[in-house]
Structures are given as structure tokens and as C-alpha cells.
Amino acid sequence: MYQHSGKTTDKLIAEEGEITGTPNKREHDVLVSVGEQITISKLSMCLQKLGYDAISYTGWQIPILTNSVFGNARIQNIYIERIKEELENRKIVIVAGFQGIDKDLNITTLGRGGSDTTAVAIAASLGADRCDIYTDVDGVYSADPRIVRDVKKIDKISYDEMLELASLGAKVLHNRCVEIGEKYNIPIYVKSTFEKESRGTLVTTKNYLEDLCISGVAKEDNIARISLIGKKNKIGRIYNVFKLLANNNINVDIIVQAFGEHITKDISFTIKEKDLKETLEILHEHANEFDIQEIKSWEGMSKVSIVGIGITNNPGVAATLFEVLYENNINMHMISTSEIKISVLVNSNVAEIALNALHEKFITKSEEIC
């Protein structure tokens, strides 16, 4: 069992901002890891008061070993001996989510939503039959009910679809927890903490027929777009650009390449807005080395997506999506597709309009939901 400590973390980040606008990443992780530590100790005390034998552990006490990417660390191993010993002694074990420790004994954090990842990773390490995630919603919906009308709750969804929705902005589950669930075949049951009688959503293996089945729509905000203009078309230049960004732990999402005149090509890609300043500094520093004539950037972008099995085998889906955006006078800046999703980059001020329009077309007016 675990509990989010988002409000405490937000308070700590606000206090951090009063000190510096560019905190040291290691010290940032030391600070924000405190929220979960407060939560687990209080929860343990509450259970003990009710007569249950409970004990709490931080990530470093287990330990949960991660890499050293502060703020977005990935779990490498969980030493479950202490957890198993306490369980064998009939104790309720409460483990802090969101945090771990690297090989140099530095405290690390897994990124926002990392408590989900911790929970599923522990379940996988213990060989559990299922991992239950109790949250403030009673399951996974076809869209965010706070901004979309007439949403539908999904009783059962595949790992792949949930992974896409989580990666594309749906905030119910952390995408990395879904990856672990699929890899180790751990079903994840999402359920409300407050509504005991409500049925949740089961994320598991799910078989489909070949019919189109749209599960949901999602929106991810705070996206920035970067274009590298007039890059010489030489083998290895693109590789060098994205290798440099990867070495600096900058995640790149949508990538579009277009050939221009005089044997040059333009490349556009998206990143998180929070990484824009650092990314531009890196690119400008190496612009001559990579033969980049001009670097342009735009903020205030959102990625709007539809997710569902069968998209790739239904050519009319993309046309319908483009038609909906056209009817709502919404311009697309970039497009990305996969076997089960179509994403478009739009201005953030029209993203909610796009999300509602696509949900109405593909889900509200559809005969059934997956």
C-alpha cells in the first residue's frame, strides 16, 4: 500500500524556488524525496494506532537501486529480502515510492508519478499476482473527465493502449509502471481510494478482433518544438545531433525530417518545455560542428492523441481526425503515428477544443468503447 504526497512535494518545490531558479539536480532529489518519507511514517503510525503491526521503509533502506539520472531515475534492482522478511513476520510493509538510491549512495527520484512505478516494480520483484493502485479516480477513462464531456470508464484495457495513453498525457498511471507490468505480466488494477463499491480498471493482456477500437484520447501540455534549418545532408549528422541530446538526458519525442533545396534538410522535433533552455544552449554551442544554418523554437504547444487497436489497418481514421480539426479551425504543426495511436501537435490554446471534438467523434458518438 502507498499514498501520494503531491501537495507536500509541490510545497517543497515552491520553497526551493525561493532559494534558486536553477537548483542542483542532486540536491533537488534530496529535497523532494522528503514528501514520501513523511507520508509513509504517518501511514505506519495510523495503522499501528488501529492495532496493525506496520513498518515503513524509505527507498534507500530497502534499497531500491537506480541509475544516477537525478529527477528521472530508472530502477535497476530492488533488494526484496527485507520486505519478504517483514511480510513473513506478518507485518504490513510500507515502502516510499518515487525514490531510490544510486551506486554512489545518492538519493534519486523517479519523476512525477514514480510512486506507481515503485509499486509495480515491487510487485514484480515479489512475484505478485496483481498490483492494485489506489488513487483519486475510480479507474481509467476515455479522456480526462475534468476537461472532456461525456467520458466513459474503461473496465479493461491492454498494456499497450494504457502505455500509449500514459505516455501521451493521461495522468492516471505513470507510463513506466505500465512498461514494467507488461514486461513481467503483472496485471494492474486502478481503483478509487475513496469509493469502496466502485469498480476500477484492469490493465492487462487483452485480445482483440480486427475491428477498429478507440480506447481514449489524451492531451499533453508544455511541449516545445525545435527546428534545425538547412542542415547539410551528410551521413551521420543526424545521429550526432540526437546522440548529443541523449547524452544530456534530453528526451526527444516527435521527429519530422524534410528535404530542402541545395541538398540540405530541415529537422523538427519536440521536447518538454522545461528542457528547452538547456537544449537550445547545447545546439547553439555545436551548431557549426553540425552545419546547422538556423535554429528555431516555439513554446506553448500541446500534443493531442487518439489511441486504439486497429488504427493502422483503418486508413479512414487519420482522414477523420484531420477533418475534425479542420472543422474546428485547428492547425496541425506536426504529426506522429504508430500502430495504435495518432498524435498531432497543436497550439496549447486550442488543445482542449481539439480533445473534446475528437472524443465526441471517436468515442461519444461511437457505438462502443474498448
CATH code of the domain covering residue 3:
3.40.1160.10
- What's CA 9's distance to the chain center, in Å? 18
CATH code of the domain covering residue 229:
3.30.70.260
Residue 196 belongs to some domain of the structure: no
Answer with the residue of higher pLDDT: 139 or 60. Answer: 60
Residue position matching grid coordinates 468515442? 363
pLDDT at 113 over 70: yes
pLDDT at 283 over 90: yes
Q: ∠ CA(312), CA(160), CA(249), 5° rounding?
A: 105
Same domain, 87 and 108: yes
Q: Which long-range contacts (CB under 8 A, 24 or more apart) does 18-26 make?
A: 25/70, 25/71, 26/70, 26/106
Residue 287 belongs to some domain of the structure: yes
CB environment 35-53: b (16+ within 10 A), e (fewer): bbbebbeebbeebeeeeee
Supply the pLDDT for residue 73.
95
| Confidence band of 1 (pLDDT split at 50, 70, 90) | very low
Mean pLDDT of the chain: 88
Supply the pLDDT for residue 205.
86
Supply the pLDDT for residue 369.
47
| Confidence band of 202 (pLDDT split at 50, 70, 90) | very high
Residue 190 belongs to some domain of the structure: no
Supply the pLDDT for residue 5.
61
Supply the pLDDT for residue 7.
75
The residue type of 32 is V
Mean pLDDT of 128-155: 88
Residue 152 belongs to some domain of the structure: no
Residue 317 belongs to some domain of the structure: yes
Same domain, 233 and 335: no
Q: For the ranges 2-16, 319-333, 334-348, 352-366, which has the lowest average pLDDT? A: 2-16
Mean pLDDT of 349-354: 96
Same domain, 240 and 332: no
- List the helix and strand counts (H, then E) for the chain: 11, 18
Supply the pLDDT for residue 3.
40
Same domain, 357 and 323: yes
Cα gap 369→26, rounded to integer Å: 44
Q: Which residues contact 11 (CB under 8 A, 6 or more apart)?
A: none
Q: Which helix (H) or strand (E) holds 303?
A: strand 294-309
Same domain, 7 and 119: yes
The residue type of 166 is A
Residue 207 belongs to some domain of the structure: no
Mean pLDDT of 245-264: 80
What percent of the chain is modeled with pLDDT above 90?
59
- Structural domain boundaries enclosing 292: 225-299
Answer with the residue of higher pLDDT: 324 or 229. Answer: 324
62 within 8 A of 78, measured Cβ to Cβ: yes
The residue type of 83 is I
Same domain, 47 and 36: yes
> Number of folded domains in the chain?
3
Residue 346 φ/ψ region, left for φ over 0, alpha for ψ in the -120 to 50 degree band, beta for the rest: beta
Supply the pLDDT for residue 55.
98
Same domain, 333 and 229: no
Q: What is the pTM of this model?
A: 0.76
Residue 157 belongs to some domain of the structure: no
Cα gap 258→271, rounded to integer Å: 19
